Amino acid sequence: MDYSGGIFCWSVRCDKITFFAFLPAFAAIIIIKWYRDKLPKKDPVLAGLFSLLPMTVWFFVQFQSSDSLNSVINFYINPYESGNLLIIAKNNLINFFTKATPLYLLIMMIIWSSAVIIRKREKINIPEEEIASFLFSILTLASYLRIVGWYRYIFPAQIMAMIYIVPSTLVCAHRFERKVIL
């Protein structure tokens, strides 16, 4: 395993708050590969250790020594201090049905999600990279719901969905084809 992945993971995360969703996706790859016995038992530990250095630097650069853990968590829950999060989430959810860019992403995510479910049910292997991209996209969408609805926050998920939309559409089309023939 390339241990620089841990360093890369935190370097990407330090760039934008949006990429916090990359961390669980990266962890998912490590766990899945370890579970499928594609990694030696020590590799997840080493990946975590290699992630600590940039994480520690980021933490000390990002926050003042006077910042409490509670203030840090509150900042990431509502970075723009934009009022009632339920109203913001409702408005952003409505955007997925009334605005072209979020609607386009929603359609791609439905197709991609369907393809993932189909392959999982049929016990077709889903590459770890796709699983990580899918988790990243889902977490990015969830994150978008809690902040001001600027489309730049869903752009990374849209790029990931665009990468997988063609193969996902083919999986769904083949499944539909088999259902119609049977």
Q: What are phi and psi of 87, to 5 degrees?
A: -65, -40
Instruction: Supply the pTM of this predicted model.
Output: 0.74
By CB neighbour count within 10 A (0-12 exposed, 13-18 middle, 19+ buried), where does 161 fall?
buried
| CB atoms inside a 10 Å sphere around CB 49 | 11
Which amino acid type is present at position 137? S
30 — pLDDT class (breaks 50, 70, 90): confident
Please name which of 139, 145, 161, 151 lies closest in space to residue 13, comparing C-alpha atoms.
139
User: Which of 23-32, 118-127, 171-180 bottoms out in mean pLDDT, i.e. has the lowest?
Assistant: 23-32
CA count, 13 A, side-chain hemisphere, 75: 9
